[in-house]
Chains A and B, each alone.
Chain A
Amino acid sequence: MQSLYFVNPIFAMIMIKPFTPLRNEDGSYNLDIPENNNSNPRATAEYDSQWEKQYRLNTNGYLEYEIVKGLTAKTTNSIELTDGEGVRYWDPQANYGETKGYLQSTRTRYTLITTSNTLSYNKEFGVHSVSAVAGQEASKYDYNRYTIVSPNVDPSIPFPNTSIAEDDFGEYNETAYTIMSFFGVANYNYDSKYYLQASLRTDGSSRFGSKNRWGTFWSVGGSWNIHRENFMDNVNFVNMLKLRGSYGISGNFNINDYDQYGLYQAEEYNGNSFMVPYQPSNPDIGWENNTGYNAGIDFALFDRITGSFDVYSRKTLDMLLAYPLSRTSGFTSITTNIGSIKNEGVELMLNGTIISKSNLEWDAGFNISHNNSTILDLGKDEQFVATNPRIVHKVGEHLYSFYLFDYAGVNPANGEAMWYNEDGELTNQYNQARRVIAGSPEPKLTGGVNTKLTAYGISLDVNLEYKYGNLVCLTENRYANSDGYSWPNNYANTQLDYWTTPGQIARNPKPLANNASSSSSSLSTRWLYDGSYVRIKNLTVSYNLPRAVVSKIKMQNLRIYASAVNLYTFHKVDFWDPERGVDGSGNGIYPMTKKIMGGIEVSF
């Protein structure tokens, strides 16, 4: 429900005027709210329902046999079963103009059957240790869903039973895939100092056509426990020091189950079931390949500091992307292997004990990561606009770049909205605005900070999360900052700074009822913001009663605590929350839930 949907309370908050009454004089909810399509989210919350219950059952059995010493055959077989039942219900007390309820009842089932069969070998010769596994694995996934739609149920008995049988209709949906793998892994280590690993696997997926069904992947890796070397014996401040490295190629088959097939499906029109094209054929679609290396170092020093540092570079080839088609093909996009992209980055993690005394302890740590994506190739294109029209994929740029019309603010002379045109000149015509790459939703840095201070049984624990250097496109702001275009709706306080007099430098253009300037267009740089933030993810204060007191009342431990989740976020956007998905876009996204709780933990 996180979308631009009038019963989404987050969106309704933008739309409904503050003086629109919540209830009618007779106490019932007011559903005559034209600025929000006659939807009252308070009524929805009270009368409409939407839920799904899932019951999960996993069974897992294995059989193992040691053929000769060190050589073991093993078969593992499992079934995962999920049974779900769900309801969506629209009640007339929450839906304008309706006298009956509208009900969708669903029943879903997922099954995943897996068999894994391996032969493994372990051997130690003095300081040498060798192990190897060869095996085969196969999985079959099935999903189906039955739905009964009952358009006219009695609101006092909202079940399919009270609907007229002729009004009811049923729907059925299913999807399935299979995957099969053959693999081998070999490990060697010398005296717990030097480790080597190599693996080779081939995977086949039902999602790909016969030509490219199988993908072959491999990796090699090694690590060195430096602290176990003799020459380190006298280096006492080093508790642990380890170097790691790996190189390899892996695969990705994350597409819909039947994307390779050109399909027709049934469509009802005028009482007939006809056939209409459903998706374009792509028999050549195959595995996306990721190839790259990772090198890292882990360390522990002075009995106080632990940490790790990693660098990596990964190249993705034959990316699986939705590629937009000319609508003259009858379709809007095709899922296909296209282009390549590089991801490079570094990660650093450091934790330390700053003070360690019997009644005072202070630990602190942080982690910081930087990732940089670059599109290397997009087949025959230099760039293409993603299915989200705010985003372009362009060679040489990040995976996601904003592609928006270049808003230039308010003309102080007359209060009109302005844009830059292709020649970089100002224009009051939206139609002449240039469309520019306006930055990226990709953060330069992400990470977190944590600290814990304990003194005399009282402790303060804080976790921060941060993101730096990314842009977000908060398109929702166009509704409450429409400069008069959506005049019956609510307005944000940011609209108060509007142009009134020549020469005035105003934040918003001159408001006009039925504003025809497109100043609130959804594809505008006007809604771009710096999405950097620091969030207090968790803050906990707790008190552990002294052991002496606790034991007197026959307890093991007694802890009193108060804790806050997402307590506060420092950010720069004109919105309640700066966080968006990887493409920096989204509509009607619920803000992070803020939770404050307290409790007593007792153990006997």
Chain B
Amino acid sequence: MKTRRYILFLVAVAVLFTTACEDFLVKEPRLSQSNELTLSTFKGLDNATGGVYSQLCSYGWYGSQFPIIADMKGGNAKRGSVNSGRYTDEYLWNNTPSSTSALWNVAYSTIAKANNVLEVIDGGFTETGVEQADLDLLKGECLFMRGLAYFDLARIYCQPYSAGTTNLGVPVVLVTENGYPARNTVGETYDRVIEDLEDAVSLLPATNPRGDDAAFATKVAAQALLAKVNLYMENWQAAASYATTVIGTAGLSLFDTDEYTTWDNDGYWGSGGPGAEIIFQVDGSEVNDSHPWWDAISYMMDPDGYGDCAASTDVINLYEAGDVRADLFLQPAKWPGEYWSLKYPGRLGRTPHREFNFPVLRLAEMYLIRAEATLNGATSGVAALTDYNAIRTHRGLTAVGSVNLGDIYAERRRELCFEGNELFDLARTQRSLVRIDYTGLSNKDITFTAGGTAAVNFRWAMPIPQAEIDANVNCEQNPGY
């Protein structure tokens, strides 16, 4: 009897344990949140949309590598006496699939984030108290960011649109999944950029409720990006029209000569707050989780930092006397004859210079886009010379009497150097790279053989990262690598 009672007791204990087991064996992370929970409430979608911006300041994108690649490979920057070994392959045009741009990872991560939100909103998301305008904002932001990501991917990893729309583009992925997507064509990639940005224009409000410091997408930011993308596609009329819209937007004006050489205490370009020229910019605060820390663009352009990205005298020599833009170069006594751009001076009182604000889109470029489009046949009601002189007179120079495309290209270089444009400007206009101030032994000049897909120099498209080729059987490497 006694034994049986014990056995009964033990059975009862065992039953109790087994029923409690399943609960005991559920340990969910408390510091993160499931996909389902994040994407099922408006609050969650709003936070997930904000998260789409978070990697803009990362190493692979505007925080360092993307603009530095464009200036290093474009001849604006050079590898001088101060260097940490970074950006050597870019300077020498020596990139391989295992040493190529890191944009692939951050851009596709950004696209995946945007796709997650878009899938829910397009699936008919509703929540009591949530207005259509609230959802339109999130959708517009995601589309803007997806468009920007595809545009930048195409600029780094593809031959320019002008060299042929049937060249290899990048995989256009609109639904996030663990798949093996093949590459679309350059034409299809740019079509996606245009469609996303046009949709974003119709959805985005004039100001973004997340903040008024131009760090979040607005209607005018999408319009400005459309002006630039259409310029790359040589849709001259559309480029000019969008530029005109942006130039006419209230609140935007060109920096005067004082503002152009001023950064406020928070590192904003201009006399205070986000400058009147800035349409869309990236916040480079150190506390951002994706901040590249020592690799920050501001540290790369600081001779007391890593300093790998010095200025070539090819750029310095472009400035006429009186041009206020020539004042934005540092010539330290310690390194005679060498220059560094002062466009990323850090934030006041905070050294080393790891913090920055990066101008992705600003008004001066809109004038230059419209001038170039007009010279190529677009009608905008404003003469190319008027736009060209508008820039000159705001930079301490006098108006001139004539302008041609070569002047516009040189002006883009004077105005936009160290903002990540020169390589892409050379490529889209199919001009070769010619370097005079160069410290390497080979690859000094890089020809761009215009006119035919086959004849295009493979080096103008950077290799796809080896890790993607290894993981995605359908992803074709660029020819030549």
| Binary flags per residue of B301-323, CB closer than 8 Å to A gives 1, else 0 | 00011100000000000000000
Other-chain residue from B25, B176, B213 in contact with A330 (beta carbon distance below 8 A): B176
A34-B83, A68-B3, A385-B467 known; A270+B35 contact, CB < 8 A: no
Contact in complex: A174, B352 (CB < 8 Å): no
Q: How far is the CB of B192 from chain A (nearest CB, A)?
A: 13
Contact in complex: A272, B50 (CB < 8 Å): yes
Once the chains are docked, how many angstroms separate the CA of A365 from the CA of B358?
A: 68
A277 at interface, CB cutoff 8 A: yes
Other-chain residue from B17, B54, B178 in contact with A326 (beta carbon distance below 8 A): B178
Contact in complex: B467, A332 (CB < 8 Å): yes
Nearest neighbor of A381 in chain B, beta-carbon distance: B473
Other-chain residue from A173, A258, A280, A328 in contact with B472 (beta carbon distance below 8 A): A328
Identify the 6 closest CB pairs spanning chains A and B, nearest first. A330-B112, A274-B50, A326-B472, A274-B51, A276-B51, A206-B27
Given A271-B211, A324-B470, A331-B112, 8 extra CB contacts under 8 A: A98-B351, A205-B25, A324-B471, A325-B471, A326-B475, A328-B472, A331-B178, A514-B91
Interface members, chain B 58-94 (any A CB < 8 Å): 79, 82-85, 88, 91-94
Report A-chain residues with C-beta under 8 Å of the C-beta of B455.
none
A97-B351, A326-B179, A329-B176 known; A267+B290 contact, CB < 8 A: yes
Report B-chain residues with C-beta under 8 Å of the C-beta of A119.
10
A513 at interface, CB cutoff 8 A: yes
Contact in complex: B179, A328 (CB < 8 Å): yes
Chain A interface residues toward B at CB < 8 A: 34, 37, 67-68, 73, 97-99, 119, 136, 138, 140, 169, 172-180, 204-206, 210, 213, 257-258, 261-278, 280-281, 324-332, 334, 384-385, 389, 430-431, 485-486, 488-489, 512-514, 516, 518, 521-523
Once the chains are docked, how many angstroms separate the CA of A257 from the CA of B27?
A: 8
Other-chain residue from A173, A263, A267, A489 in contact with B51 (beta carbon distance below 8 A): A267
Contact in complex: A272, B210 (CB < 8 Å): yes
B404 at interface, CB cutoff 8 A: no
Once the chains are docked, how many angstroms separate the CA of A163 from the CA of B179?
A: 49
Nearest neighbor of A270 in chain B, beta-carbon distance: B283
Once the chains are docked, how many angstroms separate the CA of A97 from the CA of B346?
A: 14
Contact in complex: A274, B178 (CB < 8 Å): no
Mind listing 9 A-B residue pairs with CB under 8 Å? A173-B31, A176-B27, A263-B32, A270-B211, A271-B283, A275-B38, A326-B471, A327-B104, A514-B440
A384-B470, A486-B85 known; A328+B25 contact, CB < 8 A: no
Report A-chain residues with C-beta under 8 Å of the C-beta of B85.
486, 488-489
Contact in complex: A275, B44 (CB < 8 Å): yes
Contact in complex: B17, A136 (CB < 8 Å): yes
Once the chains are docked, how many angstroms separate the CA of A92 from the CA of B113?
A: 40
Report B-chain residues with C-beta under 8 Å of the C-beta of A268.
54, 287-289
Report A-chain residues with C-beta under 8 Å of the C-beta of B402.
none
Nearest neighbor of A204 in chain B, beta-carbon distance: B25
Nearest neighbor of B180 in chain A, beta-carbon distance: A326
Other-chain residue from A172, A270, A330 in contact with B108 (beta carbon distance below 8 A): A330
Nearest neighbor of A213 in chain B, beta-carbon distance: B25
Report B-chain residues with C-beta under 8 Å of the C-beta of A324.
467, 470-471
Other-chain residue from A68, A98, A264, A385 in contact with B470 (beta carbon distance below 8 A): A385
Once the chains are docked, how many angstroms separate the CA of A489 from the CA of B178?
A: 42
Interface members, chain B 264-298 (any A CB < 8 Å): 283, 285, 287-290, 294
Other-chain residue from A213, A329, A516 in contact with B179 (beta carbon distance below 8 A): A329
Report A-chain residues with C-beta under 8 Å of the C-beta of B468.
326-327
Report B-chain residues with C-beta under 8 Å of the C-beta of A34.
82-84
Once the chains are docked, how many angstroms separate the CA of A252 from the CA of B85?
A: 43
B98 at interface, CB cutoff 8 A: yes
Once the chains are docked, how many angstroms separate the CA of A402 from the CA of B263?
A: 51
Report A-chain residues with C-beta under 8 Å of the C-beta of B44.
264, 275
Contact in complex: A37, B84 (CB < 8 Å): yes
Q: Is the interface of B mostly helix, strand, loop or mixed?
A: loop
Among B17, B27, B116, B210, chain A packs the most CB atoms within 10 A around the CB of B27
B240 at interface, CB cutoff 8 A: no
Q: How far is the CB of A177 from chain B (nearest CB, A)?
A: 6
B105 at interface, CB cutoff 8 A: yes
Tell me how many residues of B have a C-beta within 8 Å of chain A. 92
Other-chain residue from A326, A330, A385, A485 in contact with B113 (beta carbon distance below 8 A): A330
Once the chains are docked, how many angstroms separate the CA of A518 from the CA of B79?
A: 17
Contact in complex: B25, A389 (CB < 8 Å): no
Report B-chain residues with C-beta under 8 Å of the C-beta of A262.
34-36
Other-chain residue from A136, A270, A431, A486 in contact with B285 (beta carbon distance below 8 A): A270
Once the chains are docked, how many angstroms separate the CA of A261 from the CA of B38?
A: 13
Nearest neighbor of B178 in chain A, beta-carbon distance: A329
Once the chains are docked, how many angstroms separate the CA of A401 from the CA of B35?
A: 36
A327-B109, A516-B443 known; A269+B38 contact, CB < 8 A: no
A180-B24, A267-B289, A328-B111 known; A513+B466 contact, CB < 8 A: no
| Binary flags per residue of B16-32, CB closer than 8 Å to A gives 1, else 0 | 01000110111111111
Once the chains are docked, how many angstroms separate the CA of A507 from the CA of B35?
A: 55
Report A-chain residues with C-beta under 8 Å of the C-beta of B457.
none
B122 at interface, CB cutoff 8 A: no
B331 at interface, CB cutoff 8 A: no
Once the chains are docked, how many angstroms separate the CA of A466 from the CA of B27?
A: 44
Q: How far is the CB of A387 from chain B (nearest CB, A)?
A: 9
Q: How far is the CB of A25 from chain B (nearest CB, A)?
A: 17
Contact in complex: B471, A385 (CB < 8 Å): yes
Interface members, chain B 1-49 (any A CB < 8 Å): 3, 6, 10, 14, 17, 21-22, 24-36, 38, 44, 47-49
Report B-chain residues with C-beta under 8 Å of the C-beta of A99.
351
Other-chain residue from B22, B47, B88, B98 in contact with A275 (beta carbon distance below 8 A): B47
Report A-chain residues with C-beta under 8 Å of the C-beta of B480.
431
Nearest neighbor of A385 in chain B, beta-carbon distance: B470
Q: How far is the CB of A179 from chain B (nearest CB, A)?
A: 8
Report B-chain residues with C-beta under 8 Å of the C-beta of A281.
35
Report B-chain residues with C-beta under 8 Å of the C-beta of A174.
30-31
Contact in complex: B25, A329 (CB < 8 Å): no
Once the chains are docked, how many angstroms separate the CA of A456 from the CA of B74?
A: 80
Nearest neighbor of B35 in chain A, beta-carbon distance: A262
Nearest neighbor of B352 in chain A, beta-carbon distance: A97
Once the chains are docked, how many angstroms separate the CA of A179 from the CA of B305?
A: 50
Once the chains are docked, how many angstroms separate the CA of A371 from the CA of B376?
A: 71
A173-B31, A328-B112, A385-B467 known; A431+B96 contact, CB < 8 A: yes
Once the chains are docked, how many angstroms separate the CA of A144 from the CA of B96?
A: 42
Contact in complex: A269, B173 (CB < 8 Å): no
Once the chains are docked, how many angstroms separate the CA of A334 from the CA of B93?
A: 33
